[in-house]
Amino acid sequence: MNIKKNSLVLIVLLFSYSLIAQEVLTKKEAIEIALKNNYGIKIANNNLKVSNNNTSIYNTGFLPTLSTTAGANYKNENQEITRQDGNTTNIEGAVTKSYNASVSLNYTIFDGLGRKYNYQRLKETYNLTKLEARETIENTYLQIFTLYFQVARLTENNQNLAEVLKISKERVKRSEYQYEYGQSSKLAFLNAKVDMNNDSIIYINNKQQLLNAKRDLNIVLGTDKDVSYEVETAISFQELKNFEDIYSKTKENNVSLKQRKKNLAINDLNIKFAKSNYLPTLDLTSSYNWNQSENPPTSFLAGINSNGLNAGLRLSWNVFDGGITKTRVTNAKITQENQQILLEQQEETLKNTLKNNWGNYQNQLFVLKVQEENVLTSQNNFDRTLESFKLGQVTSIEFRQAQLNLLNTKASLNNAKYNAKLSEIQLLQLSGEILNMNF
């Protein structure tokens, strides 16, 4: 009875370990982990918080300033006073005390609209920072998928190499039996053993590359996840209709293009802000003051106590500042012209990049279709060769060649599959659709 219980416990433990070892990290889960933990995304989000803080009304100059001051003075001195009639009075320890306090309120009623344009500039800068954060996330998406598919490609290659190694081991056994029974030479057995050893080395190297790729993926995810996890190897392609549709979305949604346009808007506000120095400034100043003093006997007044409210308006107009404002406005206009040139350059570069990626994507889809056919052909050829090899109708070298052909075509298929998917993702990034893609 105890033996049965122990056996049952062992089976459960082995099954549980198997489930843990076969944990699958989906593409969706990888994205969710990166959005929480990726270092670049964290920094981008913090920059966004800073930019949002800068748009607060507390940073615009629209609010008045309120300040208060207070003070006290104490003076103890020896005095000698000589009057007009010639009499002299000496006082030791003549004490003078004074106290003061004030509250000041100042407000700029009009500053040539500088505050207005500065506030609009801060808001546009915040929008630009949002676009920069989005660009960081998009680049992280692309980086994650690149590494994720590298892990997937090596995983499938690892499975194919494991199958090749298994067949090579069977071939060694068969060659050994044939040699022992005099059905083949020792050379065939030695060739089979060399091929098996080579397959073992390739398998071990690929397995190490797979572990390294998982660690590289972990860095981008911002996690120290154990590398025993598996990844999804199934690939589905989205329906990208035609180039004109992609180009239309790119002109509307591309994040780099949006940043160029936002820089144009910010520089336009820079021009208006610089021009605000041509206009006058009107300030309101007000304060409430309290003063009290206690004087020594030598003073004409024994003490003073005063308090009151002061208020006033101040109009200032820098009629001519030596040409500083004129220079700033001129330079801002030149910068605006440069931003327009950069926008036009970005549009042309983007269109050219999009054409290249679209052509590459179409080519990769064609290669993928051809490689799928090649795998079917190579698999059929290998199966036939394997049967003939078992019957002794083909040589060991011919069998090995068929085996290598099948392995190479499967590896080429994997490369074509993931290259085509990455080309698709690059197109989605250019068109601003990568964050909305289906997993």
In angstroms, the CA 343 to CA 262 distance is 10
For the chain, domains (ranges, CATH) are 22-63+111-280+320-436 (1.20.1600.10), 67-109+281-316 (2.20.200)
pLDDT at residue 295, rounded to an integer = 80
Is the separation of the CB atoms in 138 and 377 below 8 Å? no
Separation between Cα atoms, residue 64 and residue 283, nearest integer Å: 10
| pLDDT for position 22 | 65
Contacts of 320 (CB under 8 A, 6+ apart): none
What pTM was computed for the model? 0.85
Task: Please report the pLDDT score of residue 392 as a whole number.
Answer: 81
Burial category of 399 from C-beta neighbours within 10 Å (exposed 0-12, middle 13-18, buried 19 and up): buried
According to DSSP, the β-strands at 88-110 and 281-294 are antiparallel
184 secondary structure, DSSP code: S
Q: Are 218 and 155 in contact (CB under 8 A)?
A: no
Q: What is the pLDDT of residue 395?
A: 84
Residues 6+ apart with CB under 8 A from 68: 101, 102, 103, 104
- Separation CA 109–CA 114 (nearest Å): 12
First to last CA, the chain: 50
Residues 240 and 361 sit within 8 Å (Cβ to Cβ): yes
pLDDT tens, residue by residue, 318-372: 999 999 999 999 999 999 999 999 999 999 999 999 999 999 999 999 999 999 9
Q: What are the b/e assignments for 122-148, b being 16+ CB within 10 Å?
A: bbbbbbbbbbbbbbbbbebbbbbbbbb
Give pLDDT, residue 189. 86
Q: Residue ranges of the alpha helices (H) in 255-395?
A: 255-275, 324-390
pLDDT of residue 11: 37
pLDDT of res. 415: 95
DSSP class of residue 57 equals G
Residues 132 and 347: their CA atoms lie apart, in Å, by: 18
Q: Quickly list DSSP for 294-317.
A: E--TTSSSSEEEEEEEEEEEEEE-
Token pair 């207005």 in the structure block, residue: 116
Mean pLDDT, contiguous 10-residue spans, the chain (439 residues): 40 41 87 95 95 93 94 84 74 85 95 94 97 96 96 96 93 83 80 93 96 96 91 90 92 96 96 94 94 78 85 93 94 96 96 96 96 96 91 86 94 96 96 88
DSSP codes joined into one string, 204-224: HHHHHHHHHHHHHHHHHHT--
Strand-by-strand arrangement of the 65-82 sheet? 65-82, 88-110, 281-294, 303-316
- The residue assigned the tokens 């994507």 is 361
